[in-house]
Amino acid sequence: MGLKPVLTKDFGTEGLRQLDAYERTGGYAGYKKALSEIKPDDLVELVKKSGLRGRGGAGFPTGNKWSFLPKGMYPRYLVCNADESEPGCFKDRYLIEESPHQVLEGILIAAFAIGCNTAFIYIRGEYLPQYEALESAIEEATAAGYIGKNVLKSGFDVDVILHRGAGAYICGEETALLTSLEGYRGEPRLKPPFPAVKGLYGKPTVVNNVETVANLPHIVLNGADWFASMGTPTGKGTRVWCMSGHVNRPGNYELENGTPIRELIMEHGGGVWKNRRLKAFQPGGASMMVLLPEHLDVGLDFDAIQKAGSLAGAGAMVVMDETTCMVDAARRYVKFFHHESCGKCTPCREGTFWMSNLFDRFEFGEARPGDVDLLLDMGYNIDGRSFCPLGDASTWFPRSVIKYFRDEFEQHIAEKGCPFRKETEAAVAVA
Amino acid sequence: MPLRPDTVAKIQDYARRYPSAQSAILPALWAVQYEQGYVTDEALAEVATHLKLPPSLIEATSSFYSMFLTRPEGRHEVMICVNAPCMLRGADAIVAYAEQRLGIRDGQTTSDGAITLRSTIECLGACGGAPMMQVDHRFEENLTPDRINAIFDHLRTAPAFHEQPPAEKKPARRTPTVSGEITRSGPSGARARTRKASK
C-alpha cells in the first residue's frame, strides 16, 4: 500500500516526451513483445487475468470489454477516451503531458489485441498543449515504424487518428463520444446495442480511458501476476488520484489500490491547509457523493468506496475544510451539469435547470421553508429517469450533501443567504 | 471572407483521413477558427461544400460545441474556472480581481480589443493548480494578483493566436514569469520528486 509509481515511474525524466528518452526508460518494449511473442487472443486473456478494470469511472474489467467484440466482424475500432472533463479530475492530462508515448503505446497494444487497424484518440478541446504532445508523439512513432503498414514486420497494420473535441462534457460518455466522433451533435445513444457490437460507424468498437491503456505496456512486460499482486482482490494495480481543494499539496498521486484515504490526504497531500479541520471530501469527481472524516480509513478502491456510500469514479479527490459552504459547492456542480446537459432528455435538461435555479435561491437568500424537500424531490425525479448517467450523476452530490449537511441548507433559509460568505464578499453569479 | 487555400487543403485532407467525411466537421471548424479567429455562417457554408455535406448538418454540429466562437472577440481569450475545486481555492476572488484590473465585467472585452474575460463553470482540468485560467487554451495555474498582472500586461501587446506566424504558434510559455512564484504548469505530488537525469 502507499505510493506506488508504475505509470508515473519515469515521470520527470529529461525529455520523456520524446521518443528516444521514452525508449531509454523501456518504452515500446511492451509493444514489441506483444507483436513478436503474443497472439492477440492471448493478449486479451492476459489482460483479463491481470484484473485490470477501466479507469474512466465505471470500473468495468478491460479484458472482458475486449472479449465482447463479436467474432469475425471487421473493421473494428478502438477509441481512447481522453475527453477528461469531470470537475476535480486532471490525471489524463498529467499522463499525456508527461509521457504521451506511454499512452500511445498502450493504444497500439490494445489495437493489436482486438484486431483493430484504425484507432482514435478523442481529446477534449481545452487540452491544446496535450493535443500537441500527442500529435508529435504520433509523428515520431510513425517515423519509427510503430504506426503504419506491417509494423515491425509483424503483418499488423495500424493507423492512429487524433481527434479534438470542442467543449462538451457529455462527449466523455462513451456513446456520446462516438456520436461526436462521427460528426454529429454529441448526444448519447441508447444502450444496448453496446459499442462492442455496434459502435463507431456501426462497427464493433472498444472505448478505453487514457489511464487504462497506459497500464497495458506494463502488464505486457511484467505479466498478469505482477499486476494482480498489487492492490485489492477486486481492484488490482494502482490508480492515479487527482487531489484538489483544501490540501497543502494538491496534485496527482499514484497509489496502490486499497491505500487508506487518510494516507492520501494527510500524508501525501500534507493534510488540510491553514491548519483547519477536515469537513468533507469527495472521491471520484463532481458526480460522486460526499464522504465525511469518519470515512478516512476507507481504502482507495472501487468496491470499498462504494461500500462507504460513494463511488471512486474517475479518481478525483476534492478536499473541503471546515470553512466550506457545502451548499455553494453543490451549487457549482449543479450549475456545471446544467451547463453541460446535452438537452436530449427532459429529466436532465429541465431537471438540472430547476435544480440550479433552486440552488441560486439558497445562495442568494431567497429560499423558502420546504425548498430542501423540493430539491430532494427533484433529485428523485431526475435520477434513474435520465437517458444517460449525466442526469443521474447531477443529483448524487447534492442529495448526499442534504443527507449529511441538511442543517446548512436550513441555515441558508433562516439567515436569508449564505452564512459562510464574508460580508465584504459579493456572491458571484455563476452563469 | 473565403478560406485561405492552405485551410481548404487541410479540410480536404481531413475528409480523406477519416472513414467518413462527416467526422471531419470538427477538425474543419478548428481549421477555420485557427485561420479567422471565429466561425462565420459563410465559413460554415464553405466547409459544407468542401466536405460535400449539407450546410444544415455542419451548423447542427457546430452549434452544439461551446468552443467555436461565432463572432469576433478580443485578441486573447482569458477563461477562469469557477467550478467547485477552483472555488475552494479562491477562484471568485480571482475573477473579481481580473474584472477590476481590466475594468470590464465577466463576458466583456477590453476597449482596446486585447482581452475577452470569461469565467466558466466548465472544469478546465487544472484543479491541482487552482485557481487557474486558460489564456488562449494554455494553462496558467496557481494564480496570484502579481501573476495575473504579468499575464495581462503581456497580452495587451501580444498578437492574437490566429495572427501569429506559424512558427510562433507553439510557444513553450507565452507569458513571462514572476520571480518567487510557482509557475510550473501542472500538479506537484508525484512529480515533486527530484528530476532524474536521462539514463
34-73 of A, contacting B, C-beta below 8 A: none
Give chain B positions within 8 Å (CB) of A182.
Answer: 20, 22-23
| pLDDT grade for B173, boundaries at 50, 70 and 90 | very low
Contact B23/A182, CB-based, under 8 Å? yes
Q: Which has more confidence, B33 or B180? A: B33
Average pLDDT for A1-7? 93
> Which of B17, B64, B106 to probe by mutation at the A interface, max A CB count within 10 Å?
B64
Give the per-residue pLDDT at B1: 83
In tens, the pLDDT along A322-345 reads 999 999 999 999 999 999 999 999
pLDDT at residue A427 greater than cutoff 80: no
Query: What is the model's pLDDT at position B161?
Result: 77
Residue B160: per-residue pLDDT: 87
**What 3-state DSSP class applies to A195?**
coil
Q: Is the pLDDT of residue A410 over 80?
A: yes
**pLDDT value for A57:** 86
Q: Which residues in chain B have Cβ-Cβ distances shorter than 8 Å to A252?
A: 128, 187, 189-191
Substitution target from B11, B30, B83, B161 for chain A, most A beta carbons within 10 A: B83
The answer to whether A274 contacts chain B (CB < 8 Å) is: no
Q: Do A13 and B196 touch (CB under 8 A)?
A: yes
Does the pLDDT of residue B178 top 60, yes or no?
A: no
What does the domain layout of chain A look like in residue ranges?
19-229, 232-321, 326-414
**A1: pLDDT confidence band, cut at 50, 70 and 90?**
confident
Q: Which CATH number, 2.60.40.10, 2.40.340.10, 3.40.50.1980, 1.20.1440.230, labels domain A326-414?
A: 1.20.1440.230
pLDDT digits (tens, 9 = 90+) for B84-108: 999 999 999 999 999 999 999 999 9
Give backbone dihedrals phi and psi of B167, rounded to 5 degrees, phi first. Answer: -60, -30
What confidence tens digit (pLDDT) does each residue in A79-128 have?
A: 999 999 999 999 999 999 999 999 999 999 999 999 999 999 999 999 99
**pLDDT at B198 (0 to 100):** 41
Q: Using the beta-carbon criterion (under 8 Å), do A431 and B107 form an inter-chain contact?
A: yes
Q: Are A286 and A396 in contact (CB under 8 A)?
A: no
- Find chain B residues with C-beta within 8 A of A336's C-beta: 83, 121-123
Give the model confidence (pLDDT) of A253-301 as tens digits: 999 999 999 999 999 999 999 999 999 999 988 999 999 999 999 999 9
For A337-366, what is the mean pLDDT? 96
User: pLDDT for A210-224, tens place per residue?
Assistant: 999 999 999 999 999
With contacts defined as CB-CB under 8 Å, which chain A residues touch B83? 87, 286, 332-333, 336
- Which chain B residues have a beta carbon less than 8 Å from that of A85? 122-123, 125
With 50 as the cut, is the pLDDT of residue A192 above it? yes
Rounded to a whole number of angstroms, the distance from the CA of A268 to the nearest CA of chain B is 7
| Amino acid occupying residue A285 | G
Q: What distance in Å separates residue A320's CA from the closest CA in chain B?
A: 7
- Measured between alpha carbons, how far is A1 from A299 in angstroms, rounded to an integer? 10
How far apart, in whole angstroms, are the C-alpha atoms of residue A269 and residue A273?
Answer: 9
Q: Quick one: pLDDT band at residue B188, thresholds 50, 70, 90?
A: very low
- The interface predicted TM-score (ipTM) is 0.93
Peptide bond into A70 cis (omega under 30): no
Which chain B residues contact residue A426 at CB under 8 A? 96
A262 contacts chain B (CB < 8 A): no
pLDDT tier at A421, thresholds 50, 70, 90: confident
Q: What DSSP state is assigned to residue A290?
A: P
A170 has pLDDT over 70: yes
Chain A residue with CA closest to B31: the answer is A164
A253 interfaces chain B, CB cutoff of 8 Å: yes
Minimum CA–CA partner of B195 in chain A: A12
Residues on chain B touching A86 (C-beta within 8 angstroms): 123
Say how many CA atoms lie within 13 Å of A16 toward its Cβ: 24
Nearest chain A Cα distance for residue B87, angstroms: 8
Phi, psi of A231 (to 5 degrees): 90, -155
- pLDDT at B167 (0 to 100): 53
A341 touches B: beta carbon within 8 Å? no
Strands, sheet with A77-82, edge to edge from the N-terminal-most edge strand? A159-164, A118-123, A77-82, A205-209
- Reply yes or no on whether the pLDDT at B196 is more than 70: no
pLDDT tens per residue, range B129-153: 999 999 999 999 999 999 999 999 9
A193-206 residue pLDDT tens: 999 999 999 999 99
Chain B nearest-CA residue for A13: B196
The answer to which of A1-15, A144-158, B8-22, B169-183 has the lowest mean pLDDT is B169-183
Closest-approach residue (CA) in chain A for B56: A184
Instruction: Provide the mean pLDDT of chain A.
Output: 95
User: Nearest-CA distance from B37 to chain A in Å?
Assistant: 15
Residue with cell 466547409: B47
The rounded distance, in Å, linking the Cα atoms of B89 and A329 is 12
pLDDT exceeds 80 at position A187: yes
**Cβ separation of B122 and A336 shorter than 8 Å?**
yes
Look at strands A316-321 and A238-245 and give their pairing.
parallel
Across A379-384, average pLDDT: 96
| Cα nearest neighbour of A129 on chain B | B138
pLDDT of A426 strictly over 80: no
CA distance, residue A254 to nearest chain B CA (Å): 7
Is 90 exceeded by the pLDDT of residue B163? no
Q: What is the mean pLDDT of residues A227-242?
A: 96
By DSSP bridging, strand A77-82 and strand B76-81 are unpaired
Asked if the Cβ–Cβ distance from A320 to B88 is below 8 Å, we say yes
CB A393 within 8 A of CB A316: no
Which tens digits make up the pLDDT trace of A20-71? Answer: 999 999 999 999 999 999 999 999 999 999 999 999 888 999 999 999 999 9
For the domain spanning A232-321, the CATH number is 3.10.20.600
Contact of A8 with chain B, judged by CB distance below 8 Å, is answered with yes
Contacts of B95 (CB under 8 A, 6+ apart): A428, B80, B82, B106, B119
Assigned fold of A19-229:
Rossmann fold (3.40.50)
Q: Is A121 helix (H, G, I), strand (E, B) or coil?
A: strand
User: Considering chain B, what is the average pLDDT of its residues?
Assistant: 85
> B176 vs A53, which has greater pLDDT?
A53
CA A249 to CA A230: how far, in whole Å?
25
**What letter would DSSP give residue A251?**
E
pTM of the model: 0.93
